[in-house]
Amino acid sequence: MTPFTDEAVFDAFRRWGYLAADLDPVGYLQPLAPPEIALEGEAAARARRCYCGTIGAEFMHIPDVESRQWIAERMEADPAPVDSARVLERLIRAGNFEQVLQSRYPGTKRFSLEGIVTLIPVMDEALDRAAALGAEQMVLAMSHRGRLNVMVHIVGKSAEDVFARFEDVDPRTFLGGGDVKYHLGATGNYVTAHGAAVEIHMVSNPSHLEAVDPVAVGRARAKQARLCGRGTTCVLPVLLHGDAAFAGQGTAAETLNLANLDGYTVGGTLHVVVNNMIGFTANPQDTVSSRFAADVAKRLPIPIFHVNAEDPDAAVRVARWAVEYRYKFHTDVVVDLIGYRRHGHSEIDDPTTTQPVRYRRIAALPPVWESYARRHQTDAAPRVAEIRGELEAALKRARNIRKNPLLRQLPSYWNAFQGGPYDPALEVDTAVRAEELIAIGELLGRVPAGFSVHPKVKKLLDQRVQMTQGRQAIDFGAAELLAYGSLLRQGTPVRLTGQDTRRGTFNQRHATLFDTETEAAYTPLANMAFPQPEFEVYDSPLSEAAVVGFEYGYSRDYPETLVLWEAQFGDFANGAQVYIDQFIAAGEDKWGLLSGLVLLLPHGYEGQGPEHSSARLERFLQLAARDNVQICQPTTAAQYFHMLRRQALRRWRKPLVVFTPKGMLRHPAAASPLPDFTSGRFLPVIPDREVTNPTRVLVATGKIVHELRAERKKRGDARTAIFALEQLYPFPEKELLAALKEYSTVREVVWVQEEPANMGALFFLMPRLRRMAKPRSVLSVKLSASPSPATGSGKAHEVQQKTLLALAFTTAKAQ
Ligand SMILES: Cc1ncc(C[n+]2csc(CCOP(=O)(O)OP(=O)(O)O)c2C)c(N)n1
């Protein structure tokens, strides 16, 4: 007799049962024996059957009692029926697809799903339940493992199209670009068991595991936003993770943290860990510090369902619960599908050199369709033969395909936009009428009745009114909000996020105002007109990677919106390097996918040390090729205004990297008079109108332009012209040549940068300037090469800057 009540016994199993569950078909994850459930008696036997079978549910850490009860009810009920014929069909199809590929293309990488093909019936069930609950679209992200299988059996690509990629047909469509087959996105339709159709959008991804996670969630958010109130119901994001990658990659953890934040939530993401208990050659004990790779998800108050993939009925039930839970509680859910990997990491890899014993055990396991058919007393052989026949026929047809079959079309909301090379004909008017600017200026300062504005902020708002009335030059902060306000009133939605972005790191923005009595928030830009498109501004979590990935994803499915991400200081953007290199710079080239994402990167040498100075212009310039991005550093408020507006108003969708000011934000030299907003456009080069017949031209970008002008004034120098290079890429060769041509008296062109010689635009510009300035000599002034971007000493910085400015007006080295 146990001294506990039945309820207490069950409670112990609810809490600890998952540790004793039978989860690993290969037997490495041995069930544990927690003393709390070392109980005997009838209640314990019943509880053990519920909680220690092939499903292990972790849910007692969820604070919400209704959620826990909901899960306990399902775990403790009799198992619901499963359509075993449908499951078997999918297991046979998925398993034999891999085997046919293996026999036809031995030694070609495909990252087989064998050992865990139960994923296919799991996805089938998830889609069926989701459709019943209102899903119309699924945004699906995954890595290499099983991707081709999922493409055929879930996305709905034909087997012959995938086989044709093994034949590498139509290589010309890839010359100098394109991507490998197991990274490509795809779009298709899935017809569920109940006959509903769900659009599947599989997201293109780089090799970098888990990097696609926030991109997919951002895409889902954009698709949801397009559907207004119905969004979270209609669009379900699903992320498939590798076990080693999910546990190891920070971007996965960062993405989880987005789940319940206003600015990022998608009403719950379904995560499936395709857990084969190995990562390339590494064992879980070397890659995961806790029992389960999925433990990272315990940072959220959500359930984790571990399930043995050799029990497809259990896995399908779990899929059903997971989707139902998501739709009921609107949170993320994790399914940890535990199986094995039948082959090496890829099929050219021999796993027996590192896991000889494990692979002897695996070799003895039959394909899951065999064990499943046996369990359900079905003869699978005739169906296997038929499906093999179909696949062989598809193989034959694939050999006759001549065109790359996996090329895709963008959704119709991209019809109004284009990528490709820059064409000046794409430019549009970006000036705004004075009356409109006055109206926006007033609205920026208008608050609801009874709202108490902080006196310091009130002063700023009053100044903004003065600015738009032409009584004071317009500064950067005001110019930016005027750009957003005018776009919103023209019908362009705006989404701006980043750390502390609502106020602005440099206290310059105040896009959201806070009541001094109640802390209630009010965002004037959300009240510019009625009705108006959405203005979203959010303080982001303290992440660079996941949030940049998210905004890139958002921009992919909402090209009409001006989407901007702001770094606290530009230096931190290298925390998002994977998104910059793999998605922003290369997405169009690899996948033909466009994005108009804007990165705002505060940049400039102001004596704040190695990590508050440089947004690494050199890195972006190195990534620039074939008009893939725009790289700008506007030196005036009006230039900033026109640049933001043209980014939204042109039909050209290209990522825009902006090097934004810090100290110059309020500097009078960077402020612009009202007429600069009511006329004109963004100028990629600002020539010099102050000197006549100069003998030298200094070319520079960013804040140092202002410093050079001040230095020239101080020196009373009348021989030196200063050109501001406002756009570095696409390189404004025509404009710069035209500016140079105006001065036949110039003998010497000097590039001046405040960055060290191994950084900044030096390497990018010198060959171009040399070619263009011929026969004049081209020299440069810069700091000496340095491993770190800037000095940690404010005083040393001052000395350096003084020297730099002096050199610019005296001697410069030819380099
Ligand atoms: C960020 C990143 N680091 C390293 C790799 C190289 N790599 C490719 S697959 C792999 C193992 C992945 O293991 P797991 O996540 O368990 O997925 P599996 O291949 O077992 O399905 C590694 C290390 C990579 N692709 N991405």
Look at ligand 1, atom 1, and give the residue with the nearest C-alpha.
Answer: 208
pLDDT band (50, 70, 90) for residue 696: very high
Residues 748-790 pLDDT 10s? 999 999 999 999 999 999 999 999 999 999 999 999 999 999 9
Three-state DSSP at 290 gives coil
How far is ligand 1, taken at its centre, from the CA of residue 658, in Å? 33
CA distances from 786 to 157, 213, 759 (A): 52, 36, 8
Coil, strand or helix: which one is 249?
A: coil
Q: Residue 170: what pLDDT?
A: 62
Atom of ligand 1 at shortest distance to CA of 111?
A: 19
In this prediction, residue 815 carries a pLDDT of 44
Q: What is the pLDDT of residues 97-142, one digit of tens each?
A: 999 988 888 878 889 999 999 999 999 999 999 999 999 999 999 9
Point out the ligand 1 atom lying closest to the alpha carbon of residue 245.
15
Ligand 1 pocket member 280 (CB < 6 A)? yes
For residue 287, which atom of ligand 1 is closest to its CA? 16
Q: What is the mean pLDDT of residues 786-802?
A: 94
Percent of the chain with pLDDT over 70: 97
pLDDT tens across 289-325, in order?
999 999 999 999 999 999 999 999 999 999 999 999 9
DSSP state of 586: T
Distance 245 CA to ligand 1 centre (A): 6
Q: Give the position of tokens 């390497």.
A: 763
Return the residue matching tokens 């849910």: 59
Sorted by sequence, the CB contacts under 8 Å of residue 450 that are 6+ apart come out as none
pLDDT for 814 equals 43
294 Cβ inside 6 Å of ligand 1: no
Q: Is the CB of 478 under 6 A from ligand 1?
A: no
Is it true that the peptide bond before 524 is cis, omega within 30 degrees of 0?
Answer: no
The SS3 assignment for 815 reads coil
- Please give the single-letter amino acid code of residue 657: V
Could you tell me if the CB of 109 is within 6 A of ligand 1?
A: no
Indicate if ligand 1 lies below 6 Å from the C-beta of 432.
Answer: no
Q: Is the CB of 209 under 6 A from ligand 1?
A: yes
Taking only the tens place, the pLDDT of each residue in 643-652 is 999 999 999 9
Render pLDDT for 6-45 as a digit per residue (tens, 0 to 9).
999 999 999 999 999 999 999 999 999 999 999 999 999 9
CA of 282 to the centre of ligand 1 (A): 10
Contact (Cβ atoms closer than 8 angstroms) between residue 225 and residue 557: no
- Please state the rounded mean pLDDT for residues 597-608: 96
Distance 630 CA to ligand 1 centre (A): 32
d(CA 224, CA 231) in angstroms, rounded, equals: 4
242 lines ligand 1 (CB under 6 A): yes
Please report, for residues 155, 189, 452, 644, the alpha-carbon distance to residue 138 in angstroms, rounded to integers and kept in the order given.
10, 10, 44, 32
pLDDT at 405: 66
In the predicted structure, residue 399 carries a pLDDT above the cut 90 = no
Give the C-alpha separation, 232 to 269, whole Å. Answer: 10
Q: For position 406, what pLDDT does the model report?
A: 64
Q: Specify the ligand 1 atom closest to the Cα of 275.
A: 16
Residue to mutate (ligand 1; options 183, 209, 286; most atoms within 8 A of CB)? 209
Q: Which atom of ligand 1 is nearest to the CA of 243?
A: 16
Q: Give me the residue label for tokens 């007033």.
A: 442
Residues 183-201: tens digit of each pLDDT: 888 999 999 999 999 999 9
The phi and psi torsions of 288 (rounded to 5 degrees) equal -130, 125
**What's the token pair of residue 696?**
């030298």
- Edge-to-edge strand list for the sheet holding 270-275: 55-58, 304-308, 333-338, 270-275, 235-242, 137-141, 197-202, 186-191
Neighbours of 487 (CB within 10 A): 25
- What are the angstrom distances between the C-alpha of 214 and each of 139, 164, 549, 589? 11, 31, 5, 21
In the chain, % helix, strand, coil (3-state, to 5) comes to: 45, 15, 40
Helix (H) or strand (E) holding 90: helix 84-104
d(CA 248, CA 302): 20
Question: Cβ(207) to ligand 1 under 6 A?
Answer: yes
| Ligand 1 atom index nearest CA of 207 | 25
- pLDDT, tens digit, 9 for 90 and up, residues 73-107: 999 999 999 999 999 999 999 999 999 988 888 87
Query: How far is 682 from 66, CA to CA, in rounded Å?
Result: 57
Using CA positions, which residue lies closest to atom 10 of ligand 1? 280
Long-range CB contact pairs, 422-429, < 8 A, 24+: 422/627, 422/652, 422/654, 422/730, 423/652, 426/650, 426/651, 426/652, 427/646, 427/650, 427/681, 428/646, 428/649, 428/650, 429/681
